[in-house]
Amino acid sequence: MNLHHPKAVLFDLDRTLTNRPASIMKYTGSFLTEYKNKLLPHLDIDQLSFVLNKADGGGYNHLNRSPHIISSLNWITPPSPDELDEHWKSNFPKSAVFADQAYDLLLALRDTGVRTAIVTNGSSRAQNAKIDALGIREIVELILISEEVRIEKPDKKIFKLALAQLELDAKHCLFIGDHPVNDIIGAHLTGMRTVWISEGRSWEEQDIEPTWIVESVSILPNLFLNHKITSKAAIKS
């Protein structure tokens, strides 16, 4: 069982190349700098991180994020939801933190001649800020952001666009992502092999399965370098 020597590896960005809880923890510094005078003193950092993570909903709760933060913290003078939302949009993307071993994986692929790309949903403002914060613009060959190309995953058109720009057939490419539908099913429908970052979750989609399942990105650099799967406990096919 091996990774079939792909010519290109395409990645999702959020919760694949980035560690979202770690990014939120980093963002708490900006949050406290801005709002410490509006909050009751001695706010526990871990409590704040818990509130922000819950409000964020893994990146899928943006409509209710600010109201949740306002209602969950003890404020002397609460900001408006619009103010909080703008603070998040301005500061959270700049707080992006790599998932464990993600940077090493990108370097390992580059050094072995495998091309890399990012295909991500989200706004141009936020996703470009994250990419710049991570410093990977010079490592990754192609970056497609849904707002810029006006196509969102899981629409297979965005995956086909990436393949067309790379001038590669789907059978020579691998897609790595955390979202079962947006990443894995979308990429599968174009004919790419897939790696699902499970984060301990069980695969629940009935009609389609990932080619491989891994718990985290951290085990992938070694697998790519060795061109084989070395632990059945770590990866499933």
Q: Is the bond preceding residue 81 a cis peptide, omega within 30 degrees? A: no
For residue range 131-179, list pLDDT tens digits in order.
999 999 999 999 999 999 999 999 999 999 999 999 999 999 999 999 9
Residue 68 has pLDDT above 90, yes or no: yes
Q: What is the mean pLDDT of residues 56-74?
A: 93
The predicted structure's pLDDT at residue 225: 64
Q: What is the DSSP string of the chain?
A: ------SEEEE-STTTTB-HHHHHHHHHHHHHHHHTTTBPSS--HHHHHHHHHHHHGGGT-TTTHHHHHHHHS-BSSPPPHHHHHHHHHHHSGGG--BPTTHHHHHHHHHHTT-EEEEEE-S-HHHHHHHHHHHT-TTT-SEEEEHHHHT--TT-HHHHHHHHHHHT--GGGEEEEES-IIIIIIHHHTTT-EEEEE-TTPPP--SS---SEEES-GGGHHHHHHHTS---TTTEE-
CATH topology of domain 8-19+98-236: Rossmann fold (3.40.50)
The residue that leads in pLDDT, 164 or 227, is: 164
Residue 228 has pLDDT above 50, yes or no: no
The residue that leads in pLDDT, 206 or 76, is: 76
Q: Which tokens go with 31?
A: 């949050």
Percent of the chain with pLDDT over 90: 79
Q: Which tokens go with 9?
A: 């590896």
Question: pLDDT tier at 4 (50, 70, 90 boundaries)?
Answer: low
Please give the mean pLDDT across all residues of the chain.
Answer: 91
pTM of the model: 0.90
Rounded-to-integer distance, Cα 216 and Cα 220, Å: 8
Q: What is the mean pLDDT of residues 58-77?
A: 93
The predicted structure's pLDDT at residue 5: 77
Residue 230 has pLDDT above 80, yes or no: no
